[in-house]
Chains A and B, each alone.
Chain A
Amino acid sequence: MTRYALRRLAIGLVQVLAVVTAVFLLVQALPGDAAVALAGDNPDPRRIEEIRAAMGLDQPALDRFGAWLSGLARGDLGVSLVSGRPVVEFLADGLGPTLILAVVSLVLLVPLSVLLGVVAALREGGVVDRVLTTVTVGLHSIPEFALAVVLIAVFGVQLGWLPPTAVGADLLAQPQVLVLPLVVLLARPVCSVSRLVRAGMIDALASDHVRHARRLGIGEQRVRFAHALPNAVAPAVQQLARTTDWLLGGVIVVEAVFVIPGLGTILVDAVAGRDLPVVQGLAVVFAVTTVLVNLVADLVGFRLAPRSAVVA
């Protein structure tokens, strides 16, 4: 297992480098650059040239990438083109809110989606199942911003029960500002994860070993939760990994609508501003989390499906 993890980490390193290179090329391919973005409306071409020179954008792209890479090797992510602040500071600023959102979402998501999936599976084809399917799929297909707009309009503005945004708030000191964003964040993953749990649970409940466990006189609740469920969650773990990835990758829409300045906001701003070092720094963070999250998911997956470890 350890050897497997180490090998995966080595591959992960290559992947991170590849992602960073790809992102560099993509950002290079974008029309305009940081100078154009900074110059704003109706810019004077002369001024753009000046900004370009001031930012060092007149250097060949390859040189800049090389310099950035050698910095990375020393653990230095460089400085923002636009503001001149170290990229690490940006990431540190954005990571706080993003982590809070991601962690709280996951803590709520796992039990909730498992519960819904199990309930739907136990009533497969029945009214409860269909209602749950309709509600979760409905929520899954509503764009986040639409859901957010409605929730804010109703609970934030009309009823005034909850703060409509998190503007200027300290997320930990005023947890009530997190309620609406979390509801919006959870709507989609609850659907995708609970539907996988449901499908897995239906298969597991019909399996020979569950039938056999019942015959052995094991209580129904234990049969459901200790025998059927572990089999049902194995496929959902992969989906959870993708969700975690998504949560850590910055949930742009939710951050924008509720004014939570996390990694997603930084990403959008950095891409819009063509602030290449910041985009690169974010790409490193995203790629590393993806590699780690998927590794963890696979290790958990092996734990849940011991047979697959033999194959891997």
Chain B
Amino acid sequence: MIRVLLVAVPVVLALVGPLFVSDDVPRGAPFMPNSALGTDFVGRDVWQQVLLGGQTVVLVALLATVFSYAVGVPWGVVAAMSRVVDDILMRPLDLLLAVPSLLVLILAAAIAGPGLPVLIGVVTLVNFPDVARISRGAALEIAARPALEAMRLQGESWWRTSVVYTGRSMLRTLAADAGVRLTGALYLVASASFLGVGVPPDAADWAVMVDRNRVGLFLQPWAVVVPALLIVALSVGLNLTFDRALRKEAV
């Protein structure tokens, strides 16, 4: 129940929140406690910003995670198929892993300029080598399984062996990874804001709110606490859900 609430509250807020925001938001002085959650660092209503700000966080984190898997899983699976392809595909990733992810983040964001697509791209770029490595490991193990060999003996199509069976068998490994990876994506989005890359400094975005409103922590703590709690709730909820799903499957 708690688990469900932890996930549902932020997700619902993120999805339907923007519908409840009126267009002409009165601007006031920054960090004033004059409404339910007060005003933020440029005098906007914090509650309105909370309603607006979930979409990007949830979207960026989810999309970046999805893209990391969309790129990383086929990458790893293809690499697992042949030794030659393996070297061609995996060596460059070692390289990418050898550059600290924050340097990648700073450089990529500086080159491409701000914007959500860039942020999603960068978070994907930082994450997918790891996903590729994990998938490659899982796929290598699956490829050696008699079940897959049996399917090949049956003359099964590439689609059924490589995609349906391999994909499905990797689910457990990937699910175990996904919770932490989503959390990592949320964190990267937030850190990007701290470093001033990827998002406009006054974007309505929970992660940006946490960063930009922290100067007003003593005046108007809600402007930091509410978005931070929403991010934490989402991460914790997702991880508990994945844990539970894995435990169920293991039984």
Residue B168, interface by CB 8 Å: no
The B-contacting residues of A in range 9-61, CB under 8 angstroms, are 15-16, 18-19, 22-23, 26-27, 29-31
The stretch that binds B, out of A62-70, A132-140, A160-168, A178-186, is A132-140
Q: Is the CB of B207 within 8 A of A143?
A: yes
Q: Is the CB of A138 within 8 A of B100?
A: no
Q: Which residues of B contact A15 (CB under 8 A)?
A: 94-95, 98
Q: Is the CB of B183 within 8 A of A22?
A: no
Q: Which residues of B contact A195 (CB under 8 A)?
A: 180
- Our pick among B110, B187, B232, B236 for the contact of A271 (Cβ within 8 Å) is B110
**Which residue, of A15, A140, A267, has the highest number of chain B Cβ atoms within 10 A?**
A140
Q: Is the CB of A199 within 8 A of B176?
A: yes
Q: Which residues of A contact B110 (CB under 8 A)?
A: 30-31, 271
Residue B102, interface by CB 8 Å: yes
Q: Is the CB of A149 within 8 A of B236?
A: no
Inter-chain CA distance A195–B178, complex, in Å, is: 13
Q: Is the CB of A130 within 8 A of B240?
A: yes
Inter-chain CA distance A245–B195, complex, in Å, is: 20
Nearest-CB distance from A163 to chain B (Å)? Answer: 18
Q: Is the CB of A264 within 8 A of B107?
A: no
Q: Is the CB of A153 within 8 A of B217?
A: yes
Categorize the interface residue count of chain A: 35 or more
Inter-chain CA distance A16–B95, complex, in Å, is: 8
Inter-chain CA distance A130–B210, complex, in Å, is: 26
Inter-chain CA distance A290–B99, complex, in Å, is: 8
Q: Which residue of A lies closest to B101 (CB)?
A: A246
The stretch that binds B, out of A214-222, A223-231, A249-257, is A249-257
Q: Which residue of B lies closest to A239 (CB)?
A: B180
Inter-chain CA distance A300–B14, complex, in Å, is: 44
The B-contacting residues of A in range 261-287, CB under 8 angstroms, are 264, 267-268, 271, 282-283, 286-287
**Interface on chain A toward B: helix, strand, loop, or mixed SS?**
helix
Nearest-CB distance from A160 to chain B (Å)? Answer: 15
Inter-chain CA distance A141–B235, complex, in Å, is: 6
Inter-chain CA distance A142–B214, complex, in Å, is: 13
Nearest-CB distance from A298 to chain B (Å)? Answer: 12
Q: Which residues of B contact A191 (CB under 8 A)?
A: 180
Nearest-CB distance from A102 to chain B (Å)? Answer: 13
Q: Is the CB of B111 within 8 A of A26?
A: yes
Q: Is the CB of A287 within 8 A of B99?
A: yes
A146-B214 contact given A188-B187, A271-B106, CB 8 Å threshold: yes
A286-B99 contact given A30-B111, A143-B187, A149-B217, CB 8 Å threshold: yes
Q: Is the CB of B183 within 8 A of A23?
A: no
Q: Is the CB of A142 within 8 A of B231?
A: yes
Inter-chain CA distance A246–B95, complex, in Å, is: 15
Inter-chain CA distance A154–B90, complex, in Å, is: 46
Residue B186, interface by CB 8 Å: yes
Inter-chain CA distance A278–B154, complex, in Å, is: 59
- Our pick among B97, B98, B107, B236 for the contact of A141 (Cβ within 8 Å) is B236
Q: Is the CB of B210 within 8 A of A140?
A: no
Q: A141-B234, A145-B210, A250-B102 are in contact. List 16 more A-B contacts (CB 8 A).
A: A19-B99, A22-B95, A29-B111, A30-B111, A133-B239, A137-B240, A141-B232, A142-B231, A143-B210, A143-B228, A252-B102, A252-B195, A267-B103, A286-B100, A286-B103, A287-B98
Sample 23 A-B pairs with CB under 8 A, ordered by A number.
Answer: A15-B94, A15-B95, A19-B95, A23-B99, A27-B107, A133-B243, A134-B240, A137-B179, A137-B236, A141-B235, A142-B187, A142-B231, A143-B187, A143-B191, A143-B194, A143-B210, A149-B217, A188-B187, A199-B176, A245-B100, A250-B102, A264-B102, A286-B103
Which A residues have a C-beta under 8 Å from some C-beta of B? Answer: 15-16, 18-19, 22-23, 26-27, 29-31, 124-125, 130, 133-134, 137-138, 140-146, 149-150, 153, 188, 191-192, 195, 199, 245-246, 249-250, 252-253, 264, 267-268, 271, 282-283, 286-287, 290-291
